[in-house]
């Protein structure tokens, strides 16, 4: 598009889109000029399209919009990505300043009556009837987005909607930054090694590495997840476990040691503004607004689904807790099992009953072996080859870059892989898009590119980094998101890859891939002892398989607790009588939980999924999609774990279609029927 080419300068490295992002050239000074130029060009092009006198057509209207949307993703995406993986106060300040402008732009666009009129005219035209299903879906989803952006509101209410959207965007970013800063603010410096008794060598190495980063001696326990989890799982020192638990569970709250990053008021503001936003659009509650773009159809359906899972899980969870308490009393003389004891006791009980621990498994999953196994499984299932590519610009020396090649050795996708935890990197694991598959107006096919980000324990003192089995499933999970993005066959931005996929279906491929971490046939391709190269011994595999149902009902209830708390928080908001979050959590826990946290616990204050990660009134999506993924995998159990024909069927239905087809239609096309909850319960070791 000549218009866009003349509006955008290429002097700024953020604006040079000829190839992948040149991260080493980016500087904080580039952010605001790049965003300002981008928004100027986008607005000018939208004005041009709206002012056209001729009737809208796909070529004359949709394609130019796709051009600016593609450019937007490729410029704004790296800015947000670097805020998450290479955070600094200076970069974050510039990012937040531009986030305000971006939010205004999207809100303006969603309320642009001229754009809406063009889409509506196109949907009612004779040409629309000639479009394929994918093209129709693009237009239908655009019209839905306009309605959810307040297009029908009077001008005064549109301004209010825009203001609320802008405020929410800022608050979400502030919430996330508070969690990161609060996590980084806490550190326990330990010089007496006996205080860390029970921690395995790998964990001690990590804590030693952390203290060296601060130019101190001894060891340093932080709230970064690898450090936190190591202490909670292995530390014999109960006082230390409680101290670290308290610090972790009070992050970004009024109970933290440093209350500078308290999210309490932000959470109240976010809840209030979400409710106002929903009411403006004539929804009774924000939960209804959330469900407008999901598979689940109603509040009663979601609550019924979650409470059904709780009812089926709670009796077994009570038995599991009783078993844990008996073990604690007999083996540890512990009469009062507390939340900071659960992971520790679980690991000890698992080792006693199954001769299994994460450390016993870790030596079988050196990172290179895990990656080779993952790539081999992907090749066998989906007929693609994955190979490393050198010389690509990255944001850190640990980051790797790979290409996906089809049977004809053509590159069909690429991805960055950022494996290890480090300072100034957001916790957790995620996939995000760099470039979306799209055919441009000149016929060029743009291949998709993804970011895959994890926070595993890094290599220590030159030793090979090895994954726990839990980390292995995380790797497969995020890679599942990746192949959903990379193996799409769609060519329109709004339905390509994960775009346009309902939130409660987007976890299907990711959770599906986790299943290969539990099967003998696939594990034989993954596991390779770090010293001997041997695969997982039969006894250890049998123990691992048995552990799939170990305390699984307690874990199920924990996720149901989060999902119910999130959903009820957004489904029954009364602005005249707001139920405080701590009271709401206590109510839900009394209903479904079998173990209660201490009064000081502030779980929601650091729950970025809900308050800054897009899962508001949607955390149930994990369990909803888990039903789909478990039932989808059951077809592999029937036909063969690495059956290429079944893999091709999964690729050609679930992965290829992106957001172009209703996910229930895709699931039934793959499975031959509607999903059944029993596969999930069976995989979880919960009696049906």
Listed as own residue / partner, the contacts of 636-641 with beta carbons closer than 8 Å and 24 or more positions apart are 636/515, 641/516, 641/519, 641/521, 641/522
Residue of 465, 486, 506, 285 lying closest to 405 (CA atoms) = 486
Would you say 348 and 454 are in contact if contact means Cβ atoms under 8 Å apart?
no
CA-to-CA distance for 280 and 641, rounded, in angstroms?
49
In angstroms, the CA 600 to CA 594 distance is 18
Return the residue matching tokens 């888990």. 626
- Radius of gyration of the CA atoms of the chain, in A: 25
Strands 385-388 and 400-405: antiparallel
* Beta-sheet pairing, 411-420 with 449-456: parallel
Catalytic hit among 73, 320, 359, 478 = 478
Structure tokens at 150: 């307040």
Residues across the chain? 688
Is residue 243 packed enough to be buried (19+ CB in 10 Å), middle (13-18) or exposed (0-12)? middle
Q: Do 65 and 492 contact (CB within 8 A), yes or no?
A: no
Residue 591 CA to residue 419 CA, distance in Å, equals: 38
* DSSP calls for 166-212: HHHHHHHHHHHHHHHHHHHH-EEEE--GGGGTT--HHHHHHHHHHHH
Q: What CA–CA distance (Å, rounded) separates 184 from 582?
A: 25
The question of whether 478 is a catalytic residue gets the answer yes
Structure tokens given for 168: 């929410």
CA distance 22 to 394: 7
d(CA 643, CA 635): 10
d(CA 41, CA 47): 10
User: DSSP letter at 87?
Assistant: -
Count CB atoms within 10 A of the CB of residue 317. 24
The separation between CA 78 and the C-alpha centre of its own chain, rounded to angstroms, equals 17
List for the chain the helix, strand, coil content (%; round to 5).
60, 5, 30
Q: Tell me the HSE value of 266 on the side-chain side, using a 13 A CA sphere.
A: 28
To 5 degrees, how large is the angle CA 97–CA 99–CA 104?
110
Strand-strand pairing, 385-388 and 438-439? unpaired
Active site residues: 478
């Amino acid at each position: 598009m000549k218009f866009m080419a003349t509006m955008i300068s290429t002097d700024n490295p953020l604006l040079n889109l000829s190839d992948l992002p040149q991260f080493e050239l980016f500087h904080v000074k580039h952010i605001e000029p790049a965003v300002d130029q981008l928004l100027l060009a986008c607005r000018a092009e939208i004005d041009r399209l709206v002012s056209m006198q001729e009737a809208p057509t796909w070529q004359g209207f949709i394609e130019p919009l796709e051009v600016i949307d593609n450019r937007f993703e490729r410029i704004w995406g790296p800015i947000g990505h670097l805020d998450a993986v290479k955070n600094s106060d200076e970069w974050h300040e510039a990012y937040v300043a531009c986030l305000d402008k971006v939010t205004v732009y999207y809100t303006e666009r969603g309320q642009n009556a001229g754009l809406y009129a063009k889409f509506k005219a196109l949907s009612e035209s004779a040409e629309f009837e000639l479009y394929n299903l994918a093209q129709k879906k693009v237009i239908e989803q655009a019209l839905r987005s306009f309605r959810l952006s307040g297009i029908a509101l009077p001008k005064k209410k549109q301004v209010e909607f825009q203001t609320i959207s802008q405020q929410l965007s800022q608050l979400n970013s502030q919430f996330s930054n508070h969690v990161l800063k609060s996590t980084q603010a806490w550190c326990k410096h330990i010089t007496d090694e006996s205080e860390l008794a029970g921690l395995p060598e790998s964990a001690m190495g990590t804590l030693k590495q952390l203290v060296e980063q601060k130019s101190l001696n001894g060891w340093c326990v932080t709230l970064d997840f690898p450090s936190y989890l190591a202490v909670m799982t292995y530390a014999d020192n109960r006082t230390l476990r409680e101290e670290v638990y308290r610090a972790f569970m009070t992050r970004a709250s009024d109970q933290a040691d440093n209350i500078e990053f308290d999210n309490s008021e932000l959470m109240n503001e976010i809840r209030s503004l979400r409710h106002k936003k929903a009411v403006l659009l004539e929804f009774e509650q924000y939960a209804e607004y959330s469900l407008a773009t999901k598979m689940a159809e109603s509040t009663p359906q979601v609550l019924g689904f979650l409470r059904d899972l709780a009812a089926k899980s709670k009796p077994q969870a009570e038995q599991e807790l009783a078993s844990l308490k008996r073990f604690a009393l007999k083996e540890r003389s512990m009469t009062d099992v507390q939340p900071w004891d659960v992971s520790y006791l679980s690991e000890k009980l698992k080792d006693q009953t199954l001769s299994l621990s994460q450390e016993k498994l870790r030596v079988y999953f050196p990172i290179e072996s895990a990656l080779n196994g993952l790539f081999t499984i992907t090749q066998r299932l989906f007929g693609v080859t994955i190979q490393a590519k050198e010389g690509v610009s990255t944001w850190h020396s640990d980051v790797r870059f790979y290409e996906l090649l089809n049977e004809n050795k053509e590159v069909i996708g690429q991805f960055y892989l950022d494996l290890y935890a480090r300072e100034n990197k957001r916790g957790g694991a995620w996939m995000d898009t760099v470039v979306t598959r799209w055919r441009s107006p000149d016929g060029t096919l743009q291949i998709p590119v993804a970011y895959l980000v994890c926070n595993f324990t890094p290599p220590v003192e030159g030793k090979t980094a090895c994954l726990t089995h839990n980390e292995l499933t995380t790797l497969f999970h995020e890679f599942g998101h990746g192949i959903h993005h990379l193996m799409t066959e769609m060519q329109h931005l709004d339905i390509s890859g994960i775009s346009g996929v309902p939130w409660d279906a987007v976890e299907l491929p990711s959770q599906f891939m986790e299943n290969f971490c539990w099967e003998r046939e696939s594990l034989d391709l993954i596991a390779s002892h770090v010293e001997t190269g041997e695969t997982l011994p039969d006894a250890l595999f049998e123990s691992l398989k048995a552990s799939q149902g170990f305390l699984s009902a307690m874990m199920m209830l924990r996720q149901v607790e989060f999902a119910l708390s999130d959903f009820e928080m957004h489904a029954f908001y009364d602005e005249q009588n707001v139920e405080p979050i701590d009271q709401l959590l206590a109510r839900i826990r009394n209903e479904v939980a079998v173990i209660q946290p201490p009064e000081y616990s502030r779980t929601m204050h650091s729950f970025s999924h809900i308050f800054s990660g897009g899962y508001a009134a949607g955390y149930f999506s994990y369990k909803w999609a888990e039903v789909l993924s478990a039932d989808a995998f059951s077809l592999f159990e029937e036909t063969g774990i690495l059956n290429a024909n079944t893999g091709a069927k999964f690729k050609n239905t679930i992965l290829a279609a992106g957001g172009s087809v209703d996910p229930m239609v895709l699931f039934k096309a793959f499975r031959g029927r509607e999903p059944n909850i029993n596969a999930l319960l069976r995989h979880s070791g919960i009696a049906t």
